[in-house]
Structures are given as C-alpha cells and as structure tokens.
Amino acid sequence: MKKNILLGLFSILLVAGCVNFLGPQQASVDTSNIVSMQPASVSVIPKPPVGTETEFTVTFEVKNQDKAKSVDVDINLFDWGVCGNPTISCAPRTDSRSKQCETLNLVPQQTELVEIKAETPSKEEIGGIAASCPIQWRAQYRFSTVSNAGFNAVSREKMKESQRANKPLEIPLGSSNVGTGPVKPFITFGTTENFVTAKSPIQLSVQVKDQGDGTFNSIVENSLSIIVPKEWYLAVADEDGDDKAREACTKKFYPVDAISELRSRANLKTVTFTNKDAIPLINRETPPQVCNFKAPDLDAENIPQKSYQVSAKLENYIYTLDGKQVVDVKP
C-alpha cells in the first residue's frame, strides 16, 4: 500500500518537474490573429432570452497575442437591431459611454474586457412575438509585419574547389521567417537550392497573403517594402545599366535610395524597393511580386561564399475584425 502511494507521488512529481521539458511553454497562439476576439469569450448577462425593456450586457475579451509588439485597437459598435441605448466601453476606461471605444493600447499578451450595454425593446415594439437583436461590432488595428529569407552566393572558385574535393558545399540554411499577424509577406526564390553561383541571376518573389479571420483588401501605396542586399542591386546596375536596376522589382516598385548614394556610402548595405501603387488582394492574396537581381562577382573580391538576407515589410496596414452576438428577446 505504502509502496503504491510512493509510486503515485513519484509519478506526480515526475510530471510536474517536466512541464518545461521541451523548452518554454509556447501558448498555442495562432500568429495569424494578433488580436483575438474569440466567440468563446463572449457572454451575455442576463442569460438570453432576455425579457422586454431589460438592460443586458454583452462582454468579450480582446487580447494582443503578439509577444513583442504593442497594438492599438479601435472598436466600434455598428448594429444593435431593435434593441436600444447601445453603449460600448473598454475596461478599464469604463466611464466612456458611446458607440466607440477609446483606442485600446494593448501591450504584448495584454487582455482587456469590452462591455456592450443595450436595452431590449418593449413588448409593443416587437409586436408581442419573440425577436432578436444582432449586436455587431468592428475592431480595427494597425499592424506591421516583416518576413525574411536567407539566401547564399558561392564563388565559382569555391564551387570548383568543393567539386574537385568531392566535398559537399556547406551552405547555411539561414533564417527564413514569416512575419506575425494576419497579413504577411511570403518570400520565395526561383531556385531549387538556397544558393546561386557568383554573377548568376537571382529571382525572388514576394506574395502577401491574408490568413486571418478578418478582412484586408488592398495594400496601400508605399507600405510594402522589399529590402535586398545592395550588392545584388549594384550587380544589375553594373552589368545591365542603372535603368534596368531601378526596375528590378518591375515598374510597380521603385528603389528608395539613389544608386549613386548606394555606391558612395559603404555603410548602406541594403536597398529598399517600395510599391508605387496600391496592390489589391484577390482571393485573400496578391499576385507574386517578382524581382530580378544578380549575385555579385565574389571571385573578384576573393570571397568564397556569402550569406544574404532579404526582407519584405508591410507597414501600418489596417486589419478589420468583425464580431457578432445575437441576443434573443422574449416578449
């Protein structure tokens, strides 16, 4: 008997001790939804159906699920059906009674309670039969996201060296991260391997996809940036001319920095291409935005191989999330 108790205790301790066994506990955050307003968090008091001419409260939680960035969320109430006197308040600023919350500034992982109050109609207003009030609200927030991808160039000499030595090229995988948030850029390279040899063309494409629960229709001008190593850009300029280099990401994008400045300033290591016009999302994604660059002549600089980082940044886009709770009214 004693032995069994001890064994049980040992098992509990064993489990307790290993909560963190595989690293820090990652909350199962879906990074697609930075701001969550899950239906499960919505509650109505009193429990529907609610009697006529009765004040009721719909509450739900808004959470910033990001682990690094603060988010400003604006919530407004836009439909309450036959119910009346609607107000919304976002705790802890409970005194502000209107149809729009004060902007909620949520630091990473902060949760706030939003409260919507309204009154059910009178018996006469619903003609003495059961009715319902569709309480609808809209949350909007600005968010910025950045994705990046690693790529490598290998000198022809190093390539030859490795092939002669019959040793595989040690190409670092590099980091490829897809940004957080509902809308994010995806970067892909037009090669099967994650490297090219020196002086070879480098084709990359950036596609922005909406994977959230809300809506986002179009990327406004000057908000999507493709940031590439300046060496790739100057390799095109040196070989095919400055005009060709400026249109490396098609005519829809323009380089923010002047070529002369990039050439003269050693501390400038990247060049940024930004979209001139709005880019619409069709079926929740943009067409691939293709860029064509060239790997620099590493052999001339006596560099065996080099790793690069490409980023795609979508700044200050506005994401819209709609929430709804139907409150049944009994006469």
Partner 1 sequence: MRKIFFLAAILFVSGCTNISETIKAGLLTVDKSTEDILVHAELSQPQLKSGMSTNIKFTAENKQQFELKNFALNVFDLCDFTCTVSGSSTEAPQFSADTIRPNRTKDFQMNCKAPVVESERTCEIKFRSSYEGSLGQTHDIFVVTESEFATGRTKVSPLSTETKSPLKISVSWSDTQPFVENDDAILYLDYSYTGEGIIEKLRPGDVSFVFPKNLELEEGRCIDFVKSEIGENNYTLAKDLLFIAGKAKRSTCVFKTKASQPIDSGKLSLKAKFKYTLDGSLPVTVVPKKSI
Q: Which residues bind partner 1 (CB under 8 A)?
A: 2-3, 6-7, 9-10, 13-14, 16-24, 68-70, 107-108, 146-148, 150, 161, 164-167, 170, 172-175, 177, 179, 266, 269, 303-307, 309, 311, 313
- Rounded to whole angstroms, the Cα distance separating 84 from 276 reads 46
Quote the CA–CA distance of 226 and 148 in Å, as a whole number: 10
The smaller minimum CB distance to partner 1, of residues 132 and 309, is found at: 309
- Residue 122 CB, nearest approach to partner 1 (Å): 48
Q: How far is the CB of 222 from partner 1 (least distance, A)?
A: 18
DSSP label at residue 199: T
Cα gap 201→191, rounded to integer Å: 10
Amino acid at 310: V
CB 63 within 8 Å of CB 35? yes
For residue 147, the minimal CB distance to partner 1 (Å) is 7
Q: Which is nearer to partner 1, 275 or 311 (CB)?
A: 311
- Report, in Å, the least distance between residue 168 CB and partner 1: 12
Nearer to partner 1, 84 or 174 (CB): 174
Q: Output Rg (C-alpha) for the chain, integer angstroms.
A: 28
In whole angstroms, how close is the CB of 186 to partner 1 at the nearest point?
13
CB of 21 to partner 1, least distance (A): 5
Burial class (CB in 10 A: 0-12, 13-18, 19+), 94: exposed
Vertex 111: Cα angle to 176 and 86 (nearest 5) = 125
Nearer to partner 1, 154 or 329 (CB): 154
Element (H, E) at 145: strand 131-154
Nearer to partner 1, 56 or 195 (CB): 195
> Could you tell me which residues come within 8 angstroms of residue 94 by beta carbon, excluding any fewer than 6 positions away?
115
